[in-house]
Every structure is written in C-alpha cells, then in structure tokens.
Amino acid sequence: MNKSDKIRLGVVGTGQITQSAATQINAHPNGEVVAAFDTNEERVKSFCEKFDVANACTTLEALLADENVDAIYVATPNKFHIPTTMAALEAGKHVLLEKPFAMNLDEAKAAAALAKEKGLTLSLGMNQRFNPESQKVKALVEDGKLGEIYHVKGYWRRRSGIPKMGTWFVSKELAGGGALYDIGVHMLDLSLYLMDNFEPVSVSGVTYSKFGPRGLGEGGWGMSDKSDIAFDVDDFASAFIRLANGATVSLDATWACHTEKAGDNNVQLFGTEGGATTYPARLYRFSKEIPGAYEIVENLPDPKKPTMGNRFANFIDHLHEGTPVCCTLDQALAVQKVLDGIAESTRTGREVVLA
C-alpha cells in the first residue's frame, strides 16, 4: 500500500463503542473513517454528521462496494461478527474485529482461513493490551523481571454493570454469552498476552445468571434500542485454565454481584522472581538492596520500545507501514478455544481437555 495514502476505514455498527473508535481512527495521521453502516438509519446518519463521514450506507453491501474503503471495523452484535467479516474479506477488505472473535471456534477458524486464503489482514482489537499500565507489565515480563510465571489471576468485577436490559447484550442468540464474552474475554486475553503463553490444554469453568433474570444490576452501557428481549446469558463466570507448560490461569468476570467496589479489574502475575499487577502497574519482589526486606515498586518506567498507541493505531500502522499486528489470529483462536471450553465445562460440570 502506498505510504502516502491514508488507510480509509468503513465502520459496521455505529453504537457507543464506535464513537470512541472513530475519534481514535481520525486522530491517526494515516487513518480516516470514510463510510459507515448501521441497521438503524437515524443512528448512522447522526454518526456520519458528527464525524464528517461522507458515505452513510443503508446496507452492508453498499459499504463493501465502496472502492474508497480499504478496511472494515466491525462493531456489531456478536452473532454478526463472522458473517460480516466473511463478507468483508470476500470483498477484498481488511478487517479489525471487536471482541469476542466469534460465537464459537468453528466460526472463528473459518474466518481465519479465509483471511489467509485472501492474503488480507484480520485482527481483533483487544484494547486492554494497549493500556499503558499493561504495556509496563509486559516490559517487565520481557525483561525477565518476574522469572518463570507459573500462575496468573485475571478478573473484572462489576457490582451493577449489565449493559442495557432488553438489548442484544443479554440475548444468548445474539451475544453468545454475557459477562464472559463482554469483559471476561478481555481479562483472559490480557492474562495470556502478558504471559506470552497461548497454549491452553484444559479448562474447568462455570457460569451463573443470578441478577439479570431478576432485572437487577443494569449498568446502562450502549446505544442499542430496547425491546422485549429476555435475559438468558451469564452475569457471572469463573474458570481455571491449564497451559501446556504447567502454568495456570484463574479467571473471574461479573456483570453484577455483591462486592466491595462498584468496579474492579486487574491481572495479577505470580513469578519465581517477582509478581506484578496491571491496574495499577506494580512490581512485587524481595529487596535487592536490603537483605530480608520486601519491596513494592510503583511508578514503573514506560517501556523502552515505543508503545503501539491503541488498537486502531496498531491496525493502521500495520496496513500502512507493515508493522506487526498486536493480536495475531493464532492468539485469537486460542482465546476462542478457551471460551468454547468454558461453555462445555458449564454444560457437563467437568474439566474439558482442549484439542
């Protein structure tokens, strides 16, 4: 691609998350939103007026036929992630996809295979990887400051954080899952990313729906229109994952529960030479200066290598400059494999061996 040209993106879905997405895309010197599609015509019209987008499309086909569009950002209900991605790839467009990858692993594999066949970029925008605090901890791991990382605990807990009741977020048919697919996937991905270990071999998990079915715990996120959709997804998920090298991951994700803090998310890493947390970024270790003393290191330095900014900057830089994408397809498939394993473990009540 000509480096003098901007990467022109079309967005599919103009809900709340796409508002910040458009801001970040347009802030990049080599990125621009040039087209948008949403099934809600008023919403896409308002979006295009707000962000000065030339082409407000009333169909996905119209957006994909736009020769000015180089790549697509997909921010639809989860059920439409893969159908939209496949159509975009067939139209010759690169794709940046919101989490979760797919409704199941077979879908994800099909999209990955098509991207490779077409020679196009398909990546997931796992935004927690790009948090400056996460990048500080990633640098610690890469520098060997933690030694062998043998266990990681990732969690995201909300007291009342269910997205708007009566919308696609709370529908198994449209979302595939609830808290696990919405915020749990972030902490799972970040845990594996910080460990640099995407080789899960087994998982034991369980999901609960204790607040949503009673109409409790709504947080109000999203711009989706309400209807009579019933709550039939999880509002609490927990899992224990074993990795090929013997390391383990503990995962908790809650949209609603009785807990001390209204919202709390973190990844805790336990290594032979030190431990770390992401939010805030801290290092825990025996003191190197005072025998027998212990120290908690705060205000960690920024990584020596340049940060990747955000998921859109990374995607645009990849297409414009050829820099590597942060989230590879193999990594994304490994995360989806674990999500499928948690679902199966919930159904069977047993640990699931991941092929």
Domain 7-124 -> CATH class: alpha beta
* Sheet arrangement for strand 7-12: 55-57, 31-37, 7-12, 71-74, 94-97, 122-124
pLDDT tens, 49-102? Answer: 999 999 999 999 999 999 999 999 999 999 999 999 999 999 999 999 999 999
Alpha carbon distance 284, 279 (integer Å)? 14
pLDDT tens, 286-303? Answer: 998 899 999 999 999 988
Residue spans per domain, the chain: 7-124, 131-307
Predicted local distance difference test score (pLDDT) of residue 222 = 77
Intrachain domains 7-124 and 131-307 with the same fold: no
Angle separating helix axes 185-195 and 329-348, nearest 10 degrees: 130
pLDDT tens, 260-270? Answer: 999 999 999 99
Tokens 């962000």 identify what position?
Answer: 51
Q: What is the 3-state secondary structure (H, E, C) of the chain?
A: CCCCCCEEEEEECCCHHHHHHHHHHHHCCCEEEEEEECCCHHHHHHHHHHCCCCEEECCHHHHHCCCCCCEEEECCCHHHHHHHHHHHHHCCCEEEECCCCCCCHHHHHHHHHHHHHHCCCEEECCHHHHCHHHHHHHHHHHCCCCCCEEEEEEEEEECECECCCCCHHHCHHHHCCCHHHHHHHHHHHHHHHHHCCCCEEEEEEEEECCCHHHCCCECCCCCCCCCCCCCCCCCEEEEEEEECCCCEEEEEEECECCCCCCEEEEEEEEECCCEEECCCCEEEEECCCCCCCEEEECCCCCCCCCCCCCHHHHHHHHHHHCCCCCCCHHHHHHHHHHHHHHHHHHHHCCCEECC
Asked if pLDDT for residue 2 goes beyond 70, the answer is no
pLDDT tens, 183-204? Answer: 999 999 999 999 999 999 999 9
Least confident of 43-57, 170-184, 228-242, 304-318: 304-318
Predicted local distance difference test score (pLDDT) of residue 101 = 98
Q: Which CATH superfamily is domain 131-307 in?
A: Dihydrodipicolinate Reductase; domain 2 (3.30.360.10)
The percent of residues above 70 in pLDDT, for the chain, comes to 98
- On average, the pLDDT of the chain sits at 95
The burial class, CB within 10 Å (0-12 / 13-18 / 19+), for 14 is buried
The percent of residues above 90 in pLDDT, for the chain, comes to 92
Alpha carbon distances (Å) from 51 to 1, 47, 92, 125: 25, 6, 25, 21
Q: How confident is the model at residue 276 (pLDDT cuts 50, 70, 90)?
A: very high
pLDDT tens, 216-236? Answer: 999 977 777 788 899 999 999
Q: How confident is the model at residue 306 (pLDDT cuts 50, 70, 90)?
A: low
Q: Which residue, 192, 186, 198, 183, is CA-closest to 141?
A: 192
Predicted local distance difference test score (pLDDT) of residue 4 = 54
